[in-house]
A and B are shown apart, each in its own frame.
Chain A
Amino acid sequence: MGIGSVRRCCFVLVVVAVVVGIGCHRPPHTLSGVMVEFQIQPKPVRVGPVVIGLALTDAEKRPVTKVRIAVEADMTHPGMSPVLGQANEVQPGYYESHLSFGMAGDWVILVHGTLPNGGTLERQFDVRSVRPN
């Protein structure tokens, strides 16, 4: 086998290794002990004000209280301004956030929480097909 063939084989191997390497990658799956039940009103969801409800429970179904929660709503298309807000605890373990969707389409709600013990809570919820007014 000549030097040229070895170089060619090396090049092909590098390309194949890169493609297979990135192809085999899967995003890490995160686990958390806190269950989050997501609700949104009104239904069907339309452009304008919405109320997002988050019910937080632990593994024994007990409400998780005193969590500081920031809510972020993004469109699935890049370049759109996110809508930011806070969620306040209106009942033990139940949090509400008032947001306003500025455009019809698909939205993604990101929930960033800080637990009383300093732990963090990250969740993502899809809100599909927000309708125009």
Chain B
Amino acid sequence: MLSESRCLVSLGSSPSEENPGSPPFDLMQVPVLGPLFRWRYARPFLQAPLLVVSVAMILHGLFGPSLAPKNLASTLSWLHFRGILVLVLLCAGNFFCLACPFMLVRQVARRFFRPRFTWPRVLRNKWVSVALFVLILFTYELFDLWSSPWWTAWLIVGYFLTALLVDGVFKHASFCKFVCPIGQFNFVASTLSPFEVKVRHQDVCTTCMTKDCIRGRRDATSDLVVIRGCELALFQPRKVGNMDCTFCLDCIHACPHDNVGILSRLPGTELLDNSLRSGIGYFSRRKDLAALAVVFTFGALLNAFGMVSPVYAVENWLGKMLHVSHEAPVLGMIFAAFLIVEPVLLLGVAAWLTRAWGRVQRAFVPLAVRYSYGLVPMGFGMWLAHYGFHFLTGLYTIVPVTQNFFASMGWPWLGEPHWTLTGIPANAVQVIEIGFLVLGFAGSLAVTHALAEEDSPAKPLAAFLPWAVVCAVLFSTSMWLIFQPMEMRATLMSG
């Protein structure tokens, strides 16, 4: 406690104190939203509709039409959920994790099962979730999940069961922090969100004696926790940025001083911050987090590459070279090339050149780790372009699919499905895609340049140049990808 208090005393000033002329905007002050978020049952209130939708998706996926465009499971999962997710992350923050339906089921299960174990120390990092993230991307391509409502439904069921199993056995939010691939995606993307759950005034925390935001609020007589503290081990006064924050509102509800808000900030600035973060440590020392950032960035390009015509030529060429006809090994090689070889080469050479040209004192690996976060904006730009494209060009398909869902349940209240309703024309959406990519490119340039300025005050341009080239390579590859003809095949190696 003593050391904790010392840390609190040495904390810097709050953003509002740094910029007295422009205090951050606080979502908690917005009418309707503020009272809603302060309400103790806000989270289940937001989770319940998504749970109902999830159940409908599972039912339709398993029992409904097998054709993906006519099924709620595939249409909502691969078009609307992904599209809305990235747009909300861009415009607001990690509000999907707030409304996550898996956690509602977990909460109900914890009324029956009290987890007894703590998550194993050796697994308290992102390696398991990085592997699962890659596995999801791999199975998505290998089994063409987008074309199968059946497998999509089972994926959702699998998610529910895994969340139940992990959080049924292990205490706190082990599933969210160490397992959930969607959560990791959200954590990385939300580093670029304009809002952050943050204390309003550090001095209030300095004098706080209870630390309810992390310990939970206890009943005065029974000493039982009545309002949870942060289950992801993020101590509010020392929390930096959105990494690992599920926006669950627990700290907001637990704080006895009403000192936690959802504050505006400049998106991406936390990628520059290498201070000690509660529950995370130093960004530059977290190789697992850097691996997550790399998979997030290069996986964005890989996921888009899987949907354009050249991928089939590459697969066929590889298949002939290796004399294999099965897709898995060929796809595995493409994944290894995109997610291991390419990042290691690009980041390795760039880090080496930055040290050499910029005379940077930082060791090679921490330097590469630190700058890998700078590529996240470019990756997010690609996810936005890709998912935004599918979402916007298929925007209205939710109407006929919902009509079809109710009709197939025997309740044709919404009439005959209007299958010709699709979305915004592709050529109009392509302009938006380019905008996302330019935004991501500019963001990556800004972050890596700021890092170079910090690392090499004497030669910032020399330190920055290698990373500018890496960003340019990723940007030009992304632009090339979105101008490729789309080709959505389930049979990759048919020739």
Contacts from A to B (Cβ < 8 Å): 4, 7-8, 11, 15, 19, 22, 25, 27, 72, 74-82, 84, 103-106, 108, 110, 124, 128-129, 132
Contacts and interface: CB of A to CB of B under 8 A. Distances in A.
A15 to B, nearest CB: 7
23 contacts: A4-B112, A25-B62, A72-B419, A74-B67, A74-B69, A74-B70, A76-B488, A78-B75, A80-B393, A80-B394, A81-B420, A84-B420, A103-B486, A103-B487, A103-B488, A104-B487, A104-B489, A105-B487, A106-B147, A124-B67, A128-B494, A129-B489, A132-B485
Query: What does DSSP make chain A's interface, helix, strand, loop or mixed?
Result: mixed
A108 B489 CA distance: 11
B397 interface: yes
A124 B69 CA distance: 14
B190 to A, nearest CB: 25
A129 B491 CA distance: 7
Contacts of B68: 76-78
B62 A22 contact: yes
Contact of A19 (B109, B161, B419): B161
A80 B488 CA distance: 11
Contacts of B113: 8, 11
B113 to A, nearest CB: 6
B485 A76 contact: no
B102 to A, nearest CB: 14
Interface in B145-160: 146-147, 153, 157
A106 B79 contact: no
A104 B486 contact: yes
A11 B109 contact: yes
B397 A78 contact: yes
A128 B157 contact: no
Nearest to A81: B422
B112 A104 contact: no
B449 interface: no
A27 B488 CA distance: 25
B58 interface: yes
A106 B147 CA distance: 10
Contacts of A75: 69, 488
Contacts of B485: 103-104, 132
Given A27-B66, A103-B487, 7 more contacts: A11-B112, A15-B161, A22-B58, A78-B71, A80-B393, A103-B488, A128-B489
B390 interface: yes
Nearest to B401: A78
A78 B112 contact: no
Contacts of A132: 309, 485, 487
A79 B66 contact: no
Contacts of B69: 74-80, 82
Given A8-B113, A78-B146, A79-B422, A104 B74 contact: no
B419 A82 contact: yes
Contacts of B491: 106, 128-129
A27 B66 CA distance: 9
A129 B488 CA distance: 8
B420 A82 contact: yes
B63 interface: yes
List the 5 shortest-distance A-B pairs measured between CB atoms, nearest first: A79-B394, A105-B488, A76-B147, A104-B487, A78-B75
A4 B111 CA distance: 9
Interface string B383-397: 000000011011001
Interface string B228-247: 00000000000000000000
Nearest to B74: A78
B309 A108 contact: no
A124 B208 CA distance: 67
B494 A78 contact: no
Contacts of A72: 419
Interface in B230-270: none
B78 interface: yes
Contact of A79 (B58, B161, B397, B420): B397
B410 to A, nearest CB: 14
A47 to B, nearest CB: 8
Contact of A27 (B63, B161, B490): B63
